[in-house]
Copies of this chain bind each other. A is one copy, B any other.
């Protein structure tokens, strides 16, 4: 049961010229489902990626980083669900390379022009033979209008496909942005068990796109948490095909900022959809920390609150047990925090001031806000001017059920 997760109608999902997508049933883990996705990119496309900081980086993540760092002309992406190809050592790396070689073989590309992605169970060998056997069917299926099918085919424990698409006026021209994401558990910044693929027909210089990818991730996929578990496989890729008559080479270009903002908004929407569909989520919470001395300490506090099982279960119960939020602020790791300066709001209701219950606070007001499906928790620390925002969800019975049963 996702929380206010908007799925656009197919008519509102705009293809990106230069991107074709095909899906197929490869039987990676389960039969009778499309679990293999291939992106074909036109020549001259810029591609940039941001990947997990987990030290156990999955084999496909290592291969992606190598192929991107090598400055190869990336022309295809291949995504499998059902198996993460993580914790698989040398044989896992070989499997990821073999996947790239096989797709390169079908498409007439060098293996280094392919980026591989995997999501699913960790510590099990990737059935690379089944995967490569499915590639010709996926390639045969390729079409510019398959974004919706791809959003489905990359899902694991997701209950809903996650897709965003829009057209944006840039100067005299219009560019199109379309993207998909997946992820529902093992979600924590830097990054989630999430895959995100965002494409635009604008042209963007490769170096610039690389910088933009990092900055955009820090406003979207690196600001969500479901359970505090940073996955081994997280990957976010931006593709700029350059088929529209707009090309941006530098930050100084007047069209840079509107394009950056449009891409960042699309990424943020894709990231928030992951939280909205988080395993067992019944509430979508925005944790905004203000007046921090630095962005780092704002994030520390935001994540301490967003990841506290006690806070999350209280939200699940719609119980304004708000002392649990103060408690989490207190253990967030700011050693010289002056609690007498801390204020806390739940929606528009001020709950705490001077580090204690706000004089005007009535439990009925807190209760009213807690019953809503979308809740903003605002925390002012009284230490400086920095603000950071993190998105999360509540913690329900369903989360336990899903994660206790995931492999069965």
Chain A residues proximal to chain B, CB less than 8 Å: 53-57, 84, 86-92, 121-125, 185-186, 188, 227-232, 307-310, 313-314, 316-317, 319, 321-324, 326-331, 334-335, 337, 339-340, 352, 354-357, 395-397, 399-401, 403-408
Q: Other CB < 8 Å A-B pairs besides A92-B356, A314-B403, A397-B397, 13 of them?
A: A55-B331, A86-B327, A87-B326, A87-B357, A88-B356, A122-B321, A123-B326, A186-B327, A228-B307, A228-B308, A230-B330, A232-B330, A397-B401
Query: Inside 8 A of A335's CB, which chain B residues have their CB?
Result: 55
Dominant secondary structure of chain A at its interface with chain B: loop
Smallest CB gap from A122: residue in B: B323
Query: Inside 8 A of A86's CB, which chain B residues have their CB?
Result: 323, 326-327
Residue of A316, A331, A355 with most partner-chain B CB within 10 A: A331
Assembled-state Cα–Cα distance A405/B346 (Å): 20
Assembled-state Cα–Cα distance A131/B43 (Å): 77
Q: Which of B310, B322, B329, B337 makes the CB contact (< 8 A) with A227?
A: B310
Query: Inside 8 A of A56's CB, which chain B residues have their CB?
Result: 326-327, 329-330, 339, 355
Question: How many copies of this protein are present in the complex?
Answer: 2
Assembled-state Cα–Cα distance A112/B316 (Å): 42
20 A-B pairs in the complex with CB atoms less than 8 angstroms apart: A56-B355, A86-B323, A87-B323, A87-B326, A87-B355, A87-B356, A87-B357, A89-B356, A123-B352, A186-B310, A188-B331, A229-B309, A232-B326, A309-B403, A314-B404, A316-B404, A317-B403, A317-B405, A321-B406, A397-B397
Smallest CB gap from A317: residue in B: B404
Once the chains bind, are B316 and A400 in contact (CB under 8 Å)? yes
Query: Inside 8 A of A92's CB, which chain B residues have their CB?
Result: 356
